[in-house]
Amino acid sequence: MRHFGHIPPTAREGLFHQQPCEFTADSPARVMSAALGATLYSPATRPRLADDVIKQHRSGVVSMVLCLEDSIDDSEVEAGEDNLVRQFADLETRGEELPLLFIRVREPEQIPDLVARIGPAARLLSGFVLPKFTAERGTPFLEAIADTEERTGRRLFAMPVLESPELLHLETRAETLAGIAGIVDKYRERVLALRLGVTDFCSAYGLRRSPDMTAYDVRIVAGIIEDVVNVLGRADGTGFTVTGPVWEYFRTQERMFKPQLRRSPFQEGRAEELRTALIEHDLDGLLREIELDRANGLQGKTCIHPSHVLPVHALSVVSHEEFSDAQDILRPERGGGGVLRSAYTNKMNEVKPHRAWAERTLQRAEVFGVAREDVGFVELLTAGLAE
């Protein structure tokens, strides 16, 4: 699979200076981690889940979570498990290319049980999403994954969700973060990414952000994101991929504030129509939040609606200017440091301070591609929506 693989090759050729790479569920962890992109959640109880998975992959989704936790009622767990067993068996018979598939469980015991019940079709499974993760609660989950991997010989990844009250509350945050850092480092080879459960953070204080506000406008949430990235998202080799929070809105409702999506990138052709459509579906706030995610050290995003996937991926493509800067900074002859003017002659690139940024940018370029010099996110959105 590859990002924008649902777009015909000739159209991709016109969009990309460097094409997104191909990857599979057996690719190196560093590639898979960077390539998660917009991870689409779906309740495990959906009766046509196999059809949904195939349909979404054909539309550009490369990672999905089949959820047995908060997205379903407590009384539906057993039915959800039974449905997953049936749907994985169905998917195995289809012979279709699939996205990376993860199951969000509630308890550690579900991990070996589900893998055993799914049987040979478990080869389609990339791992598990672990809820309410702390060092104490997370250890049994990670041990269950390690044991199941050893028993089956199938590589399985973990994606812990950071959403517990201990992490939220100021008096226990530092200790909780230190504990999480210790346990995920111990199981580093199995932890693909850390996911932020911002909805649970808001719930603890009776908050819910409107579609006119990003997670960063809710100061208590912004503070938690800052601390998580500070401890767990460092670029010195000790950090992990930390993914952006979910965007909850996908239907039109009355707006209180001026749209945040400026007109200038949308002036030509169908672009103004696209701008109007994005605003009407409350996606202008999503676009702003995606930009703020990256500015604050987050990669990819949790999504609960298919309409959110393409904006996340379009804004993950590396611009030609970013690519040029990153390449200049990482040239071997620049190993001694120094300052140079960018090829676009609009900024100074400091080799040593910007090296980690450049390395991360080229990693993103590998999986999401590099846009042509005259291509921006509007063209990428328009091309993706046309398919």
Residues 228 and 209 reside in one and the same domain: yes
Residues 165 and 209 reside in one and the same domain: yes
Q: Is the pLDDT of residue 108 over 50?
A: yes
pLDDT at 261: 52
Residues 270 and 387 reside in one and the same domain: no
Residues 288 and 347 reside in one and the same domain: no
The strand pairing partners of 339, in sequence order, are 350
Torsion over CA of 362, 128, 162 and 38, rounded to 10 degrees?
A: 40
Residues 374 and 229 reside in one and the same domain: no
Residues 75 and 208 reside in one and the same domain: yes
Residues 307 and 343 reside in one and the same domain: no
Q: Does residue 53 contact residue 98 with C-beta atoms inside 8 Å?
A: yes
pLDDT at 387: 65
The strand pairing partners of 43, in sequence order, are 67
Range from 73-82, 246-255, 283-292 carrying the lowest mean pLDDT: 246-255
Residues 106 and 214 reside in one and the same domain: yes
Q: Is the pLDDT of residue 248 over 90?
A: no
Q: What is the CA radius of gyration of the chain?
A: 21
Strand extents, DSSP E, the chain: 16-18, 38-43, 63-67, 100-104, 125-130, 157-162, 194-196, 242-247, 301-303, 339-341, 348-350, 370-371
Q: Is the pLDDT of residue 262 over 80?
A: no
pLDDT at 342: 80
- Cα separation, 143 vs 139, in Å, equals 6
pLDDT digits (tens, 9 = 90+) for 204-222: 889 888 888 899 999 999 9
pLDDT digits (tens, 9 = 90+) for 270-323: 555 555 555 445 578 899 999 999 999 999 999 999 999 999 999 999 999 999
pLDDT interval class at 251 (50, 70, 90): low
- Cα separation, 314 vs 310, in Å, equals 6
- Find, among 25, 3, 31, the residue nearest to 122 by Cα: 25
Amino acid at 111: I
Q: Where does residue 153 rank: exposed (0-12), middle (13-18), buried (19+ CB within 10 A)?
A: exposed
Domain end point (choices 316, 341, 362) = 316
Which residues are annotated binding-site positions for Mg(2+)? Answer: 200
The pTM score is 0.90
Residues 6+ apart with CB under 8 A from 26: 155
Residues 1 and 33 reside in one and the same domain: no
Residues 71 and 54 reside in one and the same domain: yes
CATH number of 144's domain: 3.20.20.60
Which residues are annotated binding-site positions? Answer: 200
Q: Does residue 83 contact residue 47 with C-beta atoms inside 8 Å?
A: yes
Residues 357 and 296 reside in one and the same domain: no
- Find, among 7, 25, 94, 105, the residue nearest to 62 by Cα: 25
Domain end point (choices 316, 333, 365) = 316
Residue 286 domain boundaries = 21-316
Distance of CA 377 to the CA centre of its chain: 18
Residues 130 and 175 reside in one and the same domain: yes
Q: Are strands 16-18 and 370-371 parallel, antiparallel or unpaired?
A: antiparallel
Q: Does residue 68 contact residue 81 with C-beta atoms inside 8 Å?
A: yes
pLDDT interval class at 331 (50, 70, 90): confident
Q: For residue 107, give the DSSP letter.
A: S
- DSSP labels, 160-200: EEE--HHHHSHHHHHHHHHHHHHHHHHTGGGB--EEE-HHH
Domain end point (choices 292, 316, 340) = 316
pLDDT digits (tens, 9 = 90+) for 31-45: 999 999 999 999 999
pLDDT at 339: 85
Instruction: Give the chain's domain count.
Output: 2
Q: What is the mean pLDDT of the chain?
A: 90
Q: For Cα atoms 376, 354, 178, give the angle at the middle one, nearest 5 degrees.
A: 105
